Amino acid sequence: MLRLAAYLAASALYLASAAGVLAADVTDIRVVGDEARTRMVVELTGEPRFHILKLDAPYRLVVDLPETAFEAEAAKRQALGLVADYRFGQIAPGKGRIVLDLAGPVAVEKSYLLPSVGDQPGRLVLDLVPTSRETFLKDVGQEATRADRAQAAPKLASLGKGDRLGQSAAGKPVVVIDPGHGGIDSGARSSDGLFEKDITLRFSKALAEALAKSGKTRPVLTREEDIFLSLRERVEFARARGAALFISVHADTVPQDYVRGATVYTLSEEASDVLAARLAARENRADVLAGLAIEDQPDEVANILFDLARRETRNLSMRFASDLVADLGAAMTLNKKPRRGASFRVLKAPDVPSVLLELGYLSNELDAKLLKSEEWQVRATEAVASSVEKYLALPGIAGR
Q: Which positions touch Zn ion (CB under 5 A)?
A: 180, 187, 250, 252
Q: What are the beta bridge partners of residue 177?
A: 221, 247
Q: CB of residue 233 vs Zn ion: minimum separation in angstroms?
A: 16
Dihedral sign for Cα 301, 307, 308, 314, please.
positive
Burial of 309 (0-12, 13-18, 19+ CB in 10 A): middle
State the first-to-last Cα distance of the chain, in angstroms, to the nearest integer: 42
Q: CB of residue 274 vs Zn ion: minimum separation in angstroms?
A: 17
Q: CB of residue 186 vs Zn ion: minimum separation in angstroms?
A: 10
Q: Considering the complex, state which of residue 55 and residue 359 has its C-beta at the smaller distance from Zn ion.
A: 359
Q: Considering the complex, state which of residue 31 and residue 356 has its C-beta at the smaller distance from Zn ion.
A: 356
Collapsing DSSP states into helix, strand and coil, what is residue 291? coil
Q: CB of residue 52 vs Zn ion: minimum separation in angstroms?
A: 28
Q: Considering the complex, state which of residue 30 and residue 282 has its C-beta at the smaller distance from Zn ion.
A: 282
Q: CB of residue 295 vs Zn ion: minimum separation in angstroms?
A: 21
Q: Considering the complex, state which of residue 8 and residue 194 has its C-beta at the smaller distance from Zn ion.
A: 194
Closest-approach residue to Zn ion (CB): 250
Q: Considering the complex, state which of residue 13 and residue 276 has its C-beta at the smaller distance from Zn ion.
A: 276
Q: CB of residue 252 vs Zn ion: minimum separation in angstroms?
A: 4
Q: Considering the complex, state which of residue 145 and residue 335 has its C-beta at the smaller distance from Zn ion.
A: 335
The tally of CA atoms less than 13 A away on the side-chain side of residue 270 is: 1
Nearest partner of 363 among 275, 277, 241, 297, judged by Cα: 275
DSSP letters along 310-373, please?
Answer: HHHHHHHHHHHHHHHHHHHTTTSPEEEEEEEEE--GGG--TTS-EEEEE---TTSHHHHHHHH-
* Distance from C-alpha of 129 to C-alpha of 36, rounded to nearest angstrom: 6
